[in-house]
Amino acid sequence: MSDSFPRGRTAIAGLATFGVGEMPGYSSIELTAKAGLQALEDSGLSLRDVDALYICQPDDFFAGLTFAEYLGIQPRYTDNNRTGGSAFMSHMASAALALDAGYIDCALIAYGSNQRSNGGKLATKITSNAWDLPYAPLFPLTSYALAATRHMHEFGTTREDLAAVALAARAWAQTNPEAFARGPLTLDDCLSARMVSTPISVRDCCLVTDGAAAIVMTRTDRARDLAKPPVPVLGAAAATWWNSIAQAPDVTVTAASESGPRAMAMAGVSPDDIQTAQLYDAFTINTILFLEDLGFCPKGEGGRFVSSGAIAPGGSMPVNTNGGGLSYCHPGMYGLFAIIEAARQIRGEAANQLPGIDLALAHGNGGTLSSQATAVLGSMATL
Amino acid sequence: MSGPEAHWRAALAEGRFLLQRTAEGTAIFPPRVAAPGRGEPTLEWFEASGRGTVYSLSWIQRRPPAAPYNVALIDLEEGARLMSRVEDVDAGALAIGMPVEAFIDRSGEEPILLFRPAGDRS
C-alpha cells in the first residue's frame, strides 16, 4: 500500500526556539507558550489565526488542554499524540493532512520543558513495562545499550565509532551560539568517560537541558504571502514497531527503515538527494542506526561512516548541524528541534548554514527505538 | 477466570515457566489474549524448556561498593525473546551467544525469572 500525502501543499510558515540550555525560573508551559508566540510572530500570523494545537509535554498528559487554556484559544482540533520524541513529526503529518483537507487552517505545534532547571533529570513518568521492570534496566538508556552491544557484535562497530558521533555533534555545536555544550571534547574524553550501561558512557548520552520549540503550519498558498519564506512539507511518515526493546525482532534495525523510505517516496526523493539530515540523537548509537535505516549508508556500515568524518563539519552528509541532542539541547523530547534545524537550513538562517540547501530531512525517535517518524522538508524550488 | 498475565504469574509462583503458542506453533511472550498480528484467540499454554541463548546484554554500573549488574535479552529455545538477568557470571564471561538456563528467583517480593550459564548448577 502506498501513502497518499499532499506533497508541498502545506508548509512551515513560522518557527522559534526559546530558552535553549538553561532557563531557570520558568515552568514548562511558560517556555512552550513563549516559543509558540514567537513562532507566530516569526510567521506574521497571530494567535487568533490558530485553530489547531499539536503538543506533547513531558510532564502533562493533558497538555493540549492546558496549552489551549494557557494561550486563551478554543482550537477546532487538539492533538496530544504521544509517541515520545517522534511525536512532533507525527504532528506534522496529521497537521498537513488536516490543513490540506480544509479541516483546519493554521496549526501550532509546540513543546517545552524546564527539566534542567527543575531537578536535572529526564522529566517523564514513562518507564519500563511490567515484564522488563524487575530487571531494572535504566529507562530508556539500557534499551539503547542493548541495541549498541548487538550492533557491535554483528557489524564490528566500536566505541570509537560511537565517540565519532559525539565529536561531530560537538564540532557543530562549537560554532552555534545557541548550543548548550560548546566546550572542547576529545576522543580520549569520550573513551575515558564514566560508563553508565555498557557500552554507553555519559559522553554517549544526550544533554539534559531546558528548552522550547514551536512551528506554525499553514497551506503553502497562504504561507507564500506571509513574513518568511515557506518551508514546504514534502513528505512525513511515522512507523511503530514495538514498545519494549525486548520485542524487537532485530535490535539493529529500527522502524526508521519504514518511515524514511515512505516519507522520501512521498517527497519523490532518494537518500542521495537529501543535503542535510537532522537525526534524533538521544544516544550516539541512534545516529548510526538511523543513518543506516534511512539509507545514507548500508546496514552495518554506520560506525565506519561516522568515523570517516562524513557527518561532521566539512563531511559529505552533514548531520545535526545545530549540535543535536548530544550538544545543542535535549529538553526531554528533541523531535521538534530537529524539524526546526532542518527548516532553518532551508530558509538559510541556520547558525551553521550550509550552502544552497533545498532538501533536508528531520527524523524523530520515540520510546526505546520504538516509534520512528521522518519528515522531508524542501525549499519552494522543490515544488 | 483470569487474564493471561495473571495466569502466567500464578504459574511462576508455583514454579512453572509458561509460554503460549499459536495454532502454527509460534511461541509468544509476554502472554497475550490473542496471537500478535493475527488476532486468533486460540493460544495454547505450554511449559518452556528454560533453555536459551544471550541475544544482547548490558552491564549497568553503580556507585561502588555496589557491584554492576547485567540486563540481557534472552532468545528462548522455543523462539520467543525476553528481558532478564544472567546470574553467576562475570562481566568478562557473559557474551552474546552464551547458552543459559532459566530459574525462578524467590528472594524478592514477587518471584522472577532469571537465567544462569547452562550446565552451571553451582
Q: Return the residue of B nearest to A144 by Cα.
A: B58
Mark out chain B residues that contact chain A at CB-CB < 8 A.
5, 29-30, 55-61, 69, 71, 73, 81-85, 91, 96, 108, 110, 112
User: Does position B106 have pLDDT exceeding 60, yes or no?
Assistant: yes
From chain B, the residues in CB contact with A200 under 8 A are: 58
| Section A164-183 average pLDDT | 98
3-state SS, one letter per residue, for chain A: CCCCCCCCCEEEEEEEEEEEECCCCCCHHHHHHHHHHHHHHHHCCCHHHCCEEEECCCCCCCHHHHHHHHHCCCCCEEECCCCCCCHHHHHHHHHHHHHHHCCCCCEEEEEEECCCCCCCCCCCCCCCCCCCHHHCCCCCHHHHHHHHHHHHHHHCCCHHHHHHHHHHHHHHHCCCCCCCCCCCCCHHHHHCCCEEECCEEHHHECCCCEEEEEEEEEEHHHHCCCCCCCEEEEEEEEEECCCCHHHCCCCCCCCHHHHHHHHHHHHCCCHHHCCEEEECCCEHHHHHHHHHHCCCCCCCCHHHHHHCCCCCCCCCCCECCCCHHHHCCCCCCCHHHHHHHHHHHHHCCCCCCCCCCCEEEEEEEECCCCEEEEEEEECHHHC
Q: Are residues B17 and B39 in the same domain?
A: yes
Flag if A135 and B110 touch (Cβ within 8 Å): no
pLDDT tens-digit map of B9-29? 999 999 999 999 999 999 999
Cis peptide before B30 (omega within 30 of 0): yes
What's the CA gap between B114 and A109, in Å, rounded?
Answer: 44
Query: In the block, which residue shows the cell 555496589?
Result: B66
Whole-complex ipTM: 0.97
Please report which confidence band the pLDDT of residue A58 belongs to, taking 50, 70 and 90 as the band edges: confident
Q: Are residues B57 and B113 in the same domain?
A: yes
Flag if B60 and A245 touch (Cβ within 8 Å): no
| Section A203-208 average pLDDT | 97
Flag if B83 and A132 touch (Cβ within 8 Å): yes
* 8 A C-beta contact, residue A30 and residue A210: no
What's the pLDDT score for residue B120?
58
Q: Does A152 touch chain B (CB under 8 A)?
A: no
Distance from CA of B65 to the nearest CA of A (A): 15
Q: How many CB pairs under 8 A join A and B?
A: 70
Q: Are residues B43 and B54 in the same domain?
A: no
Cα dihedral sign, A184-A188-A190-A192 = negative
Which CA distances in Å does A349 have to A39, A228, A300?
A: 14, 11, 34
Q: Are residues B115 and B55 in the same domain?
A: yes
Q: Are residues B61 and B110 in the same domain?
A: yes
B-interface mutation test, from A138, A149, A202, A253, most B Cβ less than 10 A away = A149
Q: Does A354 touch chain B (CB under 8 A)?
A: no
| Section A199-218 average pLDDT | 98
CATH number at residue B68: 2.40.50.840
User: Does position B98 have pLDDT exceeding 50, yes or no?
Assistant: yes
Q: Are residues B33 and B64 in the same domain?
A: no
Q: Return the residue of A nearest to B63 by Cα.
A: A196
* 8 A C-beta contact, residue B8 and residue B62: no
What is the total count of domains within chain B?
A: 2
Q: Return the residue of A nearest to B97 by Cα.
A: A153
Flag if B58 and A200 touch (Cβ within 8 Å): yes
Q: Are residues B85 and B113 in the same domain?
A: yes
| Section A186-193 average pLDDT | 98
Which pTM was predicted?
0.97
Distance from CA of B86 to the nearest CA of A (A): 10
The closest of B38, B37, B70, B41 to B56, measured between CA atoms, is: B70
- Strands in B44-47's sheet, in edge-to-edge order, are B27-28, B18-21, B44-47
From chain B, the residues in CB contact with A244 under 8 A are: 83
Q: Are residues B69 and B112 in the same domain?
A: yes
Flag if A197 and B56 touch (Cβ within 8 Å): no
Task: Name residue A108's beta-bridge partners.
Answer: A53, A216
Q: Are residues B42 and B66 in the same domain?
A: no
Please report which confidence band the pLDDT of residue A121 belongs to, taking 50, 70 and 90 as the band edges: low
Q: Mean pLDDT, chain A, as a whole number?
A: 97
| Section A289-304 average pLDDT | 98
From chain A, the residues in CB contact with B84 under 8 A are: 135
Flag if A197 and B58 touch (Cβ within 8 Å): yes
pLDDT tens-digit map of A330-381? 999 999 999 999 999 999 999 999 999 999 999 999 999 999 999 999 999 9
User: Does position B122 have pLDDT exceeding 80, yes or no?
Assistant: no
What's the pLDDT score for residue A88?
98
Q: Are residues B41 and B78 in the same domain?
A: no
* 8 A C-beta contact, residue A51 and residue A105: yes
| Structural domain of B4 | 1-47
| Section B64-73 average pLDDT | 97
Q: Which domains, ranges and CATH numbers included, belong to chain A?
A: 10-118+207-382 (3.40.47.10)
Flag if A131 and B30 touch (Cβ within 8 Å): yes
What's the CA gap between A93 and A263, in Å, rounded?
Answer: 10
**Which segments of B1-122 are extended strands (E)?**
18-21, 27-28, 44-47, 51-60, 69-76, 81-84, 99-105, 112-117
Q: Are residues B87 and B116 in the same domain?
A: yes
Domain end position, chosen among B27, B47, B67: B47
From chain B, the residues in CB contact with A135 under 8 A are: 71, 83-85, 112
Give A39's Cβ-side CA count (13 Å radius).
Answer: 34
Q: Does A166 touch chain B (CB under 8 A)?
A: no
Q: Are residues B67 and B94 in the same domain?
A: yes
